[in-house]
Amino acid sequence: MRQSKEIQILKTRFWPFFANLASLRKIRNFREKVIFTKVDMMASLRKIRNFQEEVIFTKVDMVGINRFGTICQVQ
């Protein structure tokens, strides 16, 4: 495809502007990726927190069972 002379002139004159737009677009895409990974990190932290809550819950259950067992043995 052959481009017209006007389009070629526009490209050469406004090349820095278009290059700046392209770099801004790359930066914006990078920021979106970083935000997306932060969201992923929050989801993984939530999973870890839920896991810790489950572990604490099972420890409390085990302590309760042990107390119940010792109470039964004492009686």
pLDDT in tens, 15-73: 666 666 666 677 666 666 666 666 666 777 677 666 665 555 555 555 555 555 554 44
pTM exceeds 0.85, yes or no: no
Please answer whether residues 11 and 18 qualify as being in contact, where contact means their C-beta atoms are separated by less than 8 angstroms: yes
If one counts the domains in the chain, the total is 1
Query: ∠72-74-75 over CA atoms, to 5°?
Result: 65
Range of the domain at 11: 5-74
Cα–Cα distance for residue pair 72/35, rounded to 1 Å? 55
